[in-house]
Each structure stands twice: as structure tokens, then as C-alpha cells.
Chain A
Amino acid sequence: MARLLSFPGTRRQRELALQAVFLSALAALVLGAALTARERLAAQGLTSGFGFLRKATGWEINFALLPTTTADPYWWYLLSGLVNTLFMGAVGLSGAFALGLLVGLMRSGRNPAARLLGTLYVELFRNLPIILQLFFWYAVATALPNPRQSIEIGGALVNARGIYLPGPEIGRGIAALSALAILAGAGLAVGILAARRFRRAAPLRRQSLAALSLAAGFAVAAGLALAFRDPATPWITHPRAEGLRITGGWRIQPEFYALALTIITYGAAYVGEIVRGGLKAVPRGQIEAAAALGLTAWQRFSRVTMPLAFRAMLPMLANQSVWLMKATTLGIAVGFSDFFMVVAGSINHSGQTLELIGILMAGFLAINLTLAALMNRLDRALSLEGSSMRPRR
């Protein structure tokens, strides 16, 4: 076969030429696309640019933690969508990690009943498309009885319009701030447990410090909720059915809890497998050495197995977190106003397609980079000096 690249010059020259050709082709592609786009937009009478961000939207979104009205500008809507996404991500991730830990432990233990249950769980939830699961939960949630026939469970009302929980009457914004405070407390707690600076501190002190910061988060949240509640209402209002309307309490919309439930249960199946892999990656000798020293089963697990397993799991947990954050975009399928759905709605209403797609990509890039940076920090804080204990893939 004839050589395609019978280039006359030296190897170095050939490499340079190759790169130059490739890069100019790439540039031509991008330039061509940009010119076509400009022409098309001009034909439709659209002006490009980000000026539309300051215009009022004039349409509604059906779920927002931040207070939104149709008079709010686009940028506020987009921000609101981003906050919704972050909130859904936080709920989904923490739920998936907690449930996944349980599932992983069940599958790794010796108890055959627990193993069977864990295995069934993983195989069922991991082998069905996540959007099918979402549709299923949403269909179940919206097929509940209508508000007139609400099911009452311990003061909470459940019906097709949502779950109504008893709680103090507070605004959405304060609720969001409270949630943020809890998250910050939890984040700080993880930080304290992980930070090298605290490594030398007695484990007990470290744990109590972490617990303290978690408690502080909850305290601030509770304080905020109580300070900014509507003073005209009782401390805690209970949801009450008045015909088709429900008054009082907190409403959790089906769109929200169906998506949260889906992300948690689906994510937990994957996290469970990661946990199991991490536990398997701990060398048997480590556990035997701990046993030979007389540590009890719980001490072996908490001091040796889990710290080593967690280090082994970390990179995969990081990937999984990114994946689950991306899964919040499924909100559009059931009408939960996440970032993506707000962007899609904005494109529909404003026609500023390219700008909005750019904002969407920038938003997800920012979320992912932040997550990656956090995980990297944790990884470095926990890295085993001088060694690289990592599981086989």
C-alpha cells in the first residue's frame, strides 16, 4: 500500500504540518458554524447578546426555592433554576450515599438474607433506565387520591398534589437559607473529619468537633426558620383539607419528591456497588492484623476497614456524584424546574438559543469543576503518604 503521508521534510516538519492542517480545519469548522448562525439569526430578526437577561420573563416556573414572580428577569430565573438543581443534587447525593452505604454493607456482609435483599435491590434499580423509574414514581405520585380524599399519616397529608407536612409557616427563601445552613454544617463536619490538621487530635475530639458543627448547622437553620416565620400563625401549622384546597404546613410537590426518590434509589444502587468494591479492596491481611491485635469486630470495621475502603472508593464516588448532579436534568421530564428546564423554557420564550445553551454549559461546567475540586481536596487530605493504595478498577 502506498504511504499516504510521503512528506518530503523531516519528521518534526511533518508533525508541525499535520497539526497546522488539523487546527486550521477545526478553526474553519467553528468559523463556518458561527457565520451560518449569524446569518440565520439575522434572518429571524434576533439580536444576539446577553441583553435579554435583564428583561422580565412573563412566564411561570412551578417550583422555586427562591421567590420568583413573572415580573422577575431572566437572570433571576436562571439563578433560581441553578439553586433548585443544587438543592436537588444535595438531597439526591446525601440520600444516595446513605442508602448506598447500607446496600453496600448488606451485600458485603455474611448474612445471606441481607445479601439477597441487597442483591435484589441493586439488580433491580441498576438495570432499568433512570427515566423509566422517574416516570413510574411520578405516575404513582400523581395517581394518589385527590385532595378531598387525602391520606393522613401522622399529621401529614398525602394526595395527588403532593405531600403536606406540618411545619412552621416560613417563606421559600428562608427555607432555602436554612437548608444551606444545614449543608454548610455537614460540609464542615466532613472537612473536620478529613483535614490533616486534625489528624493528630484525639479521634474523640475530632468526632465531637464534627458533631458540633453539624449541630450548629441545624441550630442556625432552626433559628432562621423560627425567627422569620409568620408571627401571626402558630409555631407549627398542620395541613388541613378545605375541600380541594389544603392550607397550612409544607407542601412537597410530586415533581420534587418523585425526582428526588428516583435519584436516591437509582444512585444508591451504584453507590452500593462502589461501597462493596471498596470493602473488597481492603487487603485481608489488614483485617487479620487488627484481629490479631484483639480489636473487636466494630473496632476493626471502623478503624481499619472503613477508612481504607473509603479511600479506595473516593475516585469512583466523585464520578458518581458528577453523574447524579447531571441526572437532575431529568426534572424536565416531569416538570421540576431545574436549571436545564429553566434554560429550555427561556429558549422557548426568548429565542436566544445560543446564549442560553452557552449559559447551560457554563453552569454545568462550574458545578462539575467545583465538585471535582472538592473531591480532589478530600482525596489529598486522605491520601496515604508514600503509598497509593487504590483498588483494582
Chain B
Amino acid sequence: MTQTTPTRAVPRRRGLWRRLRHDYAATPAAALVTLVCGTILVAIAWTLIDWAILRATFDPAAGREACRAAGGACWPVIAARWRVILFGLYPYDEQWRAALACLVVAAVILLSCLPRMWGLGRLAAIWATGTALFYLLMRGGLFGLTPVNEQQWGGLPLTLFVFVATAVIGMPMAIVLALMRRSSLPGIAIPAGLLIDAIRSLPLLSILFTCAIVLPLVLPDFLIGEKLYRVVFGAALFFAAYQAEIIRGGFQAIPRGQEEAAKALGLGWRQRLVRILLPQAFRLALPATINQFVIAFMETALIVVVGFMDLLASANTAFRTGEWTFAHVEVYAFIAAIYFAFVFGLSRYGAFLEARMDAGQQRS
């Protein structure tokens, strides 16, 4: 094929139109993909706007009939039920304590996202203080706060409590399990490995269930305690099994020379571990660790199944009773927004850290 006219000898234009064509419709097939995806996007956006805003009812006093007539989202259900959704069965007059407790947890999480707080000691201090404060506020019984039994806890504070307690108990367990599995002594490494692998191959639900109903069978009376704490222990164990493998991965990624150099300098086992290995392992494992936190937060929702009134369960009750039985989408959208804000925020933060660490590695 001979091209006789030297077309395009002039500079090619990189204009907007050209760029758009290149990106959206370089070939007929690409144009078709653009068309299909674009249509879907527009349809989704329009349906959402139409339902959630244009045809929605916002008047807090509006009832079922008014919502039905408008045809869109029925937001008065949130106005009417938000206390139940957020705080479950917690005594109505004491719900300010529950709200405060949620803020404490939020503060703890925000603080631990600051790089200047990243020391074993500081992190441990923040989380221990936060947990104690949370517990004091929720449980009461001191400083003139009326005691509130764990069975009355519910909604967002319960979800946050399970999450925080899982992390606070699970993380030390994870470190210990990881160290045991890495041990050169088979009598320690093998049982640890078996435990980790067994837990990882079981569904979390079955572990929560086991903790709720089997532990009372095998524990001596003084150890049985509240069902809430047994279930939290199960969640922590599950978290620890996964997190232990993440930490172990971090250990494996440390260059061999590091430990040898530390040995050659005459550092003892504890010093090598605390000063040289653990900090590096945690750094290397940080993105995966944050990911694990995100997963652990989402998995707190599973405690519904063993009979707790967490955020998800209290949302269920909010529309299962009374006049709001039709408003399930609105209620789920409300709590989905809460879960999403937390999970999306944390995972974006993880991605940001990862990018920062990658950049740091390239420089060195």
C-alpha cells in the first residue's frame, strides 16, 4: 500500500477533541463501551437523585401515607428512629454517654493515624486509655454515672466497642502468635502454626458461635463471664490469626542482614526483637495491617447472628416494627453511610500510607 500524499506532515494536533476521541472512541468497539457504560452511569445517577432528593419526603413530621404519595425516599423514618438505630436499647436518658463514648473511639482512631504517635508505647497508651474511658462511660457505676448492663448496650457504641476490643486484645495475641510461629523450637512453632491455620480455615461466624455456646461448657465458672466478652474474645482470636500471618510476612520481608548485624553488635534476643525487628516488621506490614483493621471493623457486623443489638441489628428493629415497615432501604442507606464513611476513610488512609512508603523506598 502506497501513501502518495504525505498527510500529517504538519504537527499533529493534541487538541481537546482529539484527546476525547482517543480516550472515548478510538475504535468502534471502544465507542460502544463508552456508550454502554455512560448510559449505565447516567441511569444510576438519575435514579439516585430522583429517589433520594427529587421525589423524596424530607418533612420530619410526614408519615407513611405522605411518603407513599411522593414515591421517593422517606427520610422522616430517620428523624423518627435515629436514636434507636444509633444507640439501640441503651437507656434513653443516658444516651449522651453513649454518644460521648463513640467520640472517644473516633478520637483514638484519629490519633493513631498520626505518624508521630507510632511508637509501641504511645499506641498502647492511647488505646488503653481510650478503652478504659469508653468502658467507664458505657458501663457507668463510678463518678455518679448510673450503671448500664452490657446487655443493654447497642447500636454504634456496641459496634465500636467490639471493634476496639478486638483490636486491643487481638494485636498483642497476634504478635505473640507470630513470634511463636517464627520460633526455631518446633515444640512452640508447630502448635502455634496449627492453631493459626485451623482458625484461618474456619468461618468467623462458627468461631463466634462456638465462643457464645461452647465456651461455657468447657470453662470453669469464674471464667465464663458475659457472652459479650466471650464473643469479643472469639473475634480477637480470629483477628489475631490473620494479623499474625501479616506480621510474619513483615518479618520475612526484613533483609537477612538486619538480624545478623544486630547479633554481630551483641544485642540480645529481646533487644533485637524490640529495637530492630519489630519496628521494621510493623512498618513493612503496615498497609496489610490497616487492611486487616478495615476487615475487622466490617466483620463486627456479624455479631448480629449471635444475638447482639449492634448497629446493623438496631437498624433492623428500626423498620421491622410499627409504621415504618416499608422503609428498609432508607434505614439501610443511613447505616451504610456510617459504615462506608469509616471503612472508606480508613482504606484511603491505608492507600495513602502505602504510596508514601513506596515513594520512601524509591528514594533510598
A135 proximal to B (CB < 8 A): yes
B187 close to A135 (CB less than 8 A): no
Residues of B within 8 A of A34 (CB): 218
Q: With the chains together, A32 CA to B316 CA distance in Å?
A: 41
Could you tell me if A364 and B203 are in contact, using CB atoms closer than 8 angstroms?
Answer: yes
Indicate if A15 sits at the interface (CB-CB under 8 A): yes
Neighbouring B residues of A357 by C-beta, 8 Å: 206, 210, 214
Is B347 positioned at the interface, with any CB of A under 8 Å from its CB? yes
Q: Is B304 touching A333 in the complex (CB atoms < 8 A)?
A: yes
Given A127-B343, A128-B340, A332-B205, A112-B301 contact (CB < 8 Å): no
B313-350 near A? 1/0 per residue, CB < 8 Å: 00010000000001011001001100110011001000
A129 within 8 A of B: yes
Bitwise interface map of B from 59 to 95 toward A, beta carbon under 8 Å scored 1, else 0: 0000000000000000000000000000000000000
The yes or no answer to B147 lying at the interface (CB within 8 A) is no
CA of A322 to CA of B202, assembled, Å: 10
The number of residues on chain A lying at the interface, defined by a beta carbon within 8 Å of a beta carbon of chain B, is: 57
CB-CB contacts below 8 Å: A79-117 with B: 106, 109-114, 116-117
CA A333 to CA B310, docked complex, whole Å = 14
Contact B339 A128 (CB under 8 A): yes
Stretch at the interface among A35-43, A158-166, A186-194, A197-205: A35-43
Which candidate, B3-11, B33-41, B103-111, B275-283, is the interface stretch facing chain A?
B33-41
Pair A131/B301 contact, Cβ less than 8 Å = yes
With a cutoff of 8 Å between Cβ atoms, the chain B residues found around residue A332 in the complex are: 205, 305
Cross-chain contact A131 with B304 (CB below 8 angstroms)? yes
Contact with A along B203-219 (1 / 0, CB 8 A): 11110011001100111
Number of residues of chain B lying within 8 A (CB) of chain A: 53
Nearest to A392 among chain B residues (CB) is B358
Report whether over half of chain A's contact residues are helix, strand or loop; otherwise say mixed.
helix
**Chain B CB within 8 A of A130 CB:** yes
Docked pose: A130 CA to B329 CA in angstroms = 16
Contact B339 A18 (CB under 8 A): no
Name 24 A/B residue pairs within 8 A (Cβ), A-sorted.
A15-B185, A22-B191, A26-B191, A36-B220, A41-B217, A110-B30, A111-B24, A111-B33, A120-B44, A124-B340, A127-B344, A128-B336, A129-B299, A129-B312, A129-B339, A131-B302, A131-B305, A135-B316, A139-B329, A140-B328, A329-B205, A330-B305, A333-B305, A347-B213
Report A's interface with B, CB cutoff 8 A. 15, 18-20, 22-23, 26, 32-34, 36-37, 40-41, 106, 109-114, 116-117, 120, 123-124, 127-132, 135-136, 139-140, 143, 322, 326-327, 329-330, 332-333, 340, 344, 347, 353-354, 357, 360-361, 364-365, 368-369, 393
